[in-house]
Structure 1
Amino acid sequence: MDITEPISRKLLHLGRIYLHALAKQVDHLDINRYHDFLTLIYLHNGQLTQKALGQLLDKDKSSLVSIIDLLTEKGYVYREINPADRREQLLKITAKAEQEVPEIIKAFEGINNSTTENISAADLKTFNRVLAQMEENLRAHTLTETNVETKS
């Protein structure tokens, strides 16, 4: 019997190695996860809503609230009512985040450079294109399955 290895296993394995490398570089900071969330909030300079962040990172509302609550408890972000739409909350960074996030970004850049060392720009472009196509395929397949189940 030939057992096919799930693609997800390799992707998850690479993700764990990547996050371990990141954690080693920023372990002296007061945050041990959600660096990507914090970085996105920082880069959007106070103009990112919780809903938009959830869409960017494909997180459901309840998970996102828990993550933002943790980042708030750690003193990295706070919420502010959006003056343009009072139903929305903008995510803002604190002075602590202003000091520490550039170091996180630098760590991401270093790990990205190490990870892609000896890989040509053309291969990276192909890799990113293939990943995007895989995501599109899975989303289309999942949508098709959902529609079939709904009709049953």
Structure 2
Amino acid sequence: MDKAAKERQAIGLFFYLLSKMYNRTLAYELHFTPLDRHFHTLWLIYEHKSQISQQALADLLKIDKAAMTRIVRDLEKKGMIVRRENPHDGRSYWLALSRKGEQTAKDALEAIDELHTEVFMGFSPDEEKQFMQMLERVYKNLTLQPESDAFLCFLKSTRESQKS
């Protein structure tokens, strides 16, 4: 087997290890919070201004209903989130951050920014931008319907709001 084939085969392991190291480092940076995981879940609720349904959150995170239910129960038990009735649809609920959850989300955002700086140490701004664009292309390649993908729609709306 040639070197290129071995590198192609290793990409899954590489992404897996990067994910493990990134999340472990983030958890270490946030050891003073009551959370040991689900930082990105809080971040997404924060970004949606506490107006996101459990199903929409599950779609963004690419997890099934049962896993999302376990995460929500864990975050509720830790006092991070509360369920609020959706004013537009009385049959559904929005997930909202509690005061404690909002502070933890802000702490997590600060830690993510610091980790981002560490991750991209030695990268020029152009290299960082190119890397992020390449990751998005990889994501799109693995997504069956990129036009309707909840995460891609979220990224697009986030970029548009940052421009204004």
Same fold, judged at TM 0.5 (above): yes
* Residue segments in structure 2 that go unaligned for 5+ positions in a row: 145-164
Paired residue for 2:110, among 106, 113, 122?
Answer: 106
Note the alpha carbon deviations across 1:20-63, whole angstroms, 9 max, x for none: 21111111211100000012112322211112211222222221
Report the 3-state secondary structure (helix = DSSP H, G, I; strand = E; otherwise coil) of the residue aligned with 1:6.
helix
1:34-73 equivalent positions in 2, closer than 5 A: 34-73=38-77
Length-normalised TM-score, structure 1: 0.83
Alpha-carbon distance in structure 2 between the residues aligned to 1:95 and 1:114: 29
1:78-89 equivalent positions in 2, closer than 5 A: 78-89=82-93
Paired residue for 1:139, among 143, 152, 159?
Answer: 143
Length-normalised TM-score, structure 2: 0.78
The AA in structure 2 aligned to 1:9 is L
The AA in structure 2 aligned to 1:78 is V
Aligned-pair distance for 1:16? Answer: 1.3
Aligned-pair distance for 1:126? Answer: 2.0
Point out the structure with max Rg over C-alpha.
Answer: 1
Alpha-carbon distance in structure 1 between the residues aligned to 2:99 and 2:141: 42
Alpha-carbon distance in structure 2 between the residues aligned to 1:100 and 1:81: 23
Aligned-pair distance for 1:125? Answer: 2.2
Q: CA RMSD in A?
A: 1.8
Aligned-pair distance for 1:109? Answer: 0.5
* Residue segments in structure 1 that go unaligned for 5+ positions in a row: 141-152
Instruction: Report the identity percentage.
Output: 29
Aligned-pair distance for 1:88? Answer: 1.9
Q: Verify: 1:93 aligned to 2:97, yes or no.
A: yes
Alpha-carbon distance in structure 2 between the residues aligned to 1:111 and 1:40: 18
Aligned-pair distance for 1:91? Answer: 0.5
Aligned-pair distance for 1:97? Answer: 1.3
Aligned-pair distance for 1:96? Answer: 1.3
Aligned-pair distance for 1:99? Answer: 2.6
Instruction: Tell me which residue corresponds to 2:127.
Output: 123
Report the 3-state secondary structure (helix = DSSP H, G, I; strand = E; otherwise coil) of the residue aligned with 1:136.
helix
Alpha-carbon distance in structure 2 between the residues aligned to 1:107 and 1:13: 20
When the two structures are aligned, how many residues end up with a matched partner? 141
